[in-house]
A = this chain, B = another copy of it.
């Protein structure tokens, strides 16, 4: 008897009834669950990097009693899919009109562009919570946008035009790897 960690069979819930907004799921939770599923079916090995923390003190039981958050040096997620290096940053925004690049550190944007230059697949996943819309936005488009625009926020129209909207599925909840498949074709 295998104890499946996911409800991959006999899920009677229809696709149209599923709303991540109504479920109150965070983007991080959706991505982590999807990555767990991808690992379970041996499709991809993608993990969220732990939050970087500088530890100041630990006690005798090795419990941390003083520590502070550090600036991440790269992006939140990376791993391997179809032999390719995958790297991305995921962000939520409450805005209904644009995503401000101020939400992402300069060194993270630079990292995403460098991965792309080096032949890896890098992108942003942006969740417009008020619109209940999630987009994948590849590094090549980000590079072009930054080059051509002096504004430091990406309007929703740009995501609609050049991004890929991720629709919800059962397993995994965010099947974002289909867009990597498209890209590799």
Q: Which positions in A face B, CB cutoff 8 Å?
A: 42, 44-45, 47, 49-53, 55, 62-70, 73-74, 78-87, 111, 114-115, 118-120
Q: Complex: how many Å from CA A47 to CA B75?
A: 10
Residue pair B64, A68 in contact (C-beta under 8 Å): yes
How many subunits of this chain does the assembly comprise? 2
- By Cβ-Cβ distance, the 6 closest A-B pairs, closest first, are A83-B119, A50-B52, A64-B67, A85-B85, A80-B85, A50-B50
The smallest beta-carbon distance between A83 and chain B, in angstroms, is 3
The smallest beta-carbon distance between A98 and chain B, in angstroms, is 28
Residue pair B73, A47 in contact (C-beta under 8 Å): yes
Q: Complex: how many Å from CA A63 to CA B78?
A: 27
Residue pair A42, B74 in contact (C-beta under 8 Å): no
